Structure 1
Amino acid sequence: MSSSVLPDFYDLSALGWNDSLAAGLPAGTLPARVARVDRGAAEVLCAEGQLTAHYSARVRRAAATDPVDLPCVGDWAALRRLPEGRFELEALLPRRTAFVRGGVGRTSQGGLSGDSRGQVLAANVDVVFVAEPALHATDTADLGRIERLLALAWESGGHPVVLVTKADLIGDGLAFLMDEVASAAPGVDVHAVCSVTGEGVDLVRGYLEGSRTAVVLGASGAGKSTLVNALAGEAVMETQQVRAGDGRGRHTTVHRELIPLPGGGLVIDTPGIRRIGLYEMGEGVEAVFADIEELAEECRFADCGHDSEPGCAVVAAIEDGTLPERRLASWRKLQREAAWMASRTDARLRKELQSKWKVIHKEMRKPGRNRP
């Protein structure tokens, strides 16, 4: 974080602190908001400025059981000042919202394990900006990536917004691209943005009035850090040009970071996301595919699989060109993945419960247990 934007102290209300959070603060602790995390410690913003706080044993134990309980950027935390003067992150306050991706575990060989545990990318976020770049070489967006990120955004509890970044690179193809993206994001605002020229930046800033917090998500080279710098009015995050050959970017941002903005509001910059696994989906997928859900209500059969059944409104919409066939295929893919993750999560919870009862039964069988 640029030293020029670090004050000697922070107004907690400007960071999002309120009476509801204050009611859950443990006695004798100091409230702080997590701006950046490292191994075993976090950089936090509080009334005393920016501090480093190491995790307490309680926090480490909780995170060992479930990585979702690890402190993450955007969290509100309770700090305790130790006798030697340093601070310890004693506990996390309940999250209002959380953007969680699943399936991020790895095997000992370095491959993806298909772990049902999640990873929190950002917490207590009001707005989720999904950044998709407009590249000069093509007018086709990665609609599947947009749909996947929107499913997680809806599930997080934040308000999703799609930003077509680098809008100056595509020329006359921008209108077509905007329509294409809008078709994959029903009920979601879609805006064209160029951080270099300033186009759309004030519109984006309008989502961050007061103490609202946003997270910017997207692939490497999507212009996330450049947008954050434009919002901040100075270079608070390092940026890098995309490769000339394929328009792809490299991971300039290597960590997530919370940036307070001079005009109010906060924004979380993130590294480019390569893998976007679903996690404990409730209504996220349904919200992204609201158009298919509405069509399905008109099908003749309530359990219609939208394949070859007579009277299928979804198939009819594909045949008359109202619904792209790609969108139905994407809906099926995310539905299958959400169901698979749900089964993995259920199996993990059952295993953890069984392990817990084994420990309890073992304790009960010890000699002298429950004897007068």
Structure 2
Amino acid sequence: MSPRFDALRAIGWPFEGMPPPGPWQDAMQAHPGARPARVIEQHRSGYIVAEGLAGGFAVESLPDWQRPRLPPGERPAVGDWLLVEGDAAGDARAAALLPRRTAIKRGAAGEHYGQQVIAANIDIVFVVTGLDGDFNPRRIERYLLLVQSGGARPVVVLTKADRDGVDDTAARAELTDAIGAGVPVVAVNAKDRGSVAALEQWLPPGSTAVLVGSSGAGKSTLTNTLLGIEKMKTGAVRESDARGRHTTTHRALIPLPSGACLIDTPGMRELKPTGEERLADGGFEDIEALAGDCRFRDCRHDREPGCAVRAAIDAGALDAQRFANYLKLRDELAGAADQLATRQAQKADERVQGKALNKRLDDKYGRH
């Protein structure tokens, strides 16, 4: 491996050297004067990228990324790989966005459809929740829906396991019942280096992890403990509802001593689906399987005879609150999928109209 790719590997470059034949190699060949760099910070005014551990530098954005109507999901996010031209000393500019291997996305806030990329090209997502008022299995199911649909592997991290009266054994059992045994659940004291070491099995050299969860869950404290230094600002939570303030104000990619990279994110209180997810990715495979055993194919799981889902609830084999969350997410996902289809149809129509307009202009003015 060349020194250049050694440096890139230290910040998560997914190949031993040049990428194999495919979209990444095609993009690099299309921009022979450009070189890879990774987005390590995303701000309103632009991006900071890095080519190794030595630090980051600002890059000038592509004009297309500044278009007001460009969907946010098509702009670079923290963790993305760009092709960059120019000198890092001050005139660096982006040439292209390399294809994403994985991404965490959510539906944008508001009434109009949109997508927001939380982080890109990640291997592990630590879904962080406190063993206090923040503990909510229904919200964790929602996180899993977004995480696993994006191609990354989730690990649920229960923080504040050191508090008096906290029973992390019961919490782990409740979560395992809700989300299945396929998703690891780990309880830690986020301030204790020995306790947090349990997470290092998912942080091998060259990997990228991201921390997601509510404000006050302990994400920044975990980051500081993994780093071994107080880099991220932390804050207290309100005793009344265990809510915390946003101590992390922007997403940032940070190299860890283990050789992995970690992305800390601001707390997220709204987790809307994009319409691209599958309910099974939220840990609902068992409910989907039960629904397939109902007598009627269009069973609403209400009062229909022969409903396997209602039979499981009545027998205590399926938690009624978990099923209610399944129905809520199913309806949200269906609504988002309809909005996504409408948006895609509108974009396709705009492209057709644009081509027709260009043809009329060419015919009228003889443009070539």
TM score, norm. by length of structure 1: 0.88
Task: Say whether residues 1:32 and 2:37 are aligned partners.
Answer: yes
Name which of structure 1's ranges 223-232 and 234-243 shifts more when overlaid on structure 2. Answer: 234-243
- Please name the residue that 2:19 is paired with: 20
Question: Gapped runs of 5+ residues in structure 1?
Answer: 1-8, 105-111
The alignment partner of 1:242 has SS state of coil
| Contact persistence 2:105–2:119 (CA under 8 A) | yes
Paired letter, 1:30: R
- Please name the residue that 1:152 is paired with: 146
Q: 2:165 aligns with which of 155, 171, 191?
A: 171
Structure 1 residue 222 displacement after superposition: 0.2
| Contact persistence 2:287–2:309 (CA under 8 A) | yes
Structure 1 residue 304 displacement after superposition: 2.5
| Contact persistence 1:10–1:46 (CA under 8 A) | no
| Contact persistence 2:161–2:167 (CA under 8 A) | no
CA distance in 1: counterparts of 2:359 and 2:260, whole angstroms: 54
Change (3 A) 1:230 1:284: farther
Q: 1:224 aligns with which of 204, 219, 240?
A: 219
| Matches for 1:12-161 after TM superposition, within 5 Å | 12-17=8-13, 18=15, 19-20=18-19, 23=25, 24-25=27-28, 26-47=31-52, 49-61=55-67, 64-81=69-86, 85-104=90-109, 112=110, 114-135=111-132, 141-161=135-155
Structure 1 residue 199 displacement after superposition: 5.6
The alignment partner of 2:154 has SS state of strand
Task: Say whether residues 1:351 and 2:346 are aligned partners.
Answer: yes
Structure 1 residue 172 displacement after superposition: 4.9
Matched positions, count: 352
CA distance in 1: counterparts of 2:164 and 2:6, whole angstroms: 41
Task: Say whether residues 1:365 and 2:360 are aligned partners.
Answer: yes
| Contact persistence 1:129–1:215 (CA under 8 A) | yes
Change (3 A) 1:82 1:214: closer
The alignment partner of 2:364 has SS state of coil
Structure 1 residue 32 displacement after superposition: 0.8
Change (3 A) 1:82 1:200: closer
The alignment partner of 1:11 has SS state of helix
Aligned residues with identical type, % of pairs: 39
The alignment partner of 1:35 has SS state of strand
Question: Gapped runs of 5+ residues in structure 2?
Answer: none
Paired letter, 1:294: A
| Contact persistence 1:40–1:55 (CA under 8 A) | no
Structure 1 residue 370 displacement after superposition: 6.9
Alpha-carbon RMSD across the aligned residues, in angstroms, is 2.4
CA deviation string 1:31-70 (max 9, x = no partner):
1111101124211111464211121224334x74221111
CA distance in 2: counterparts of 1:296 and 1:199, whole angstroms: 44
Change (3 A) 1:365 1:213: same
CA distance in 1: counterparts of 2:200 and 2:333, whole angstroms: 33
Please identify runs of 4+ aligned residues in structure 1 that moved more than 6 A. Answer: none
Name which of structure 1's ranges 309-318 and 281-290 shifts more when overlaid on structure 2. Answer: 281-290
| Contact persistence 1:79–1:87 (CA under 8 A) | yes
Change (3 A) 1:260 1:277: same
Name which of structure 1's ranges 219-228 and 229-238 shifts more when overlaid on structure 2. Answer: 229-238
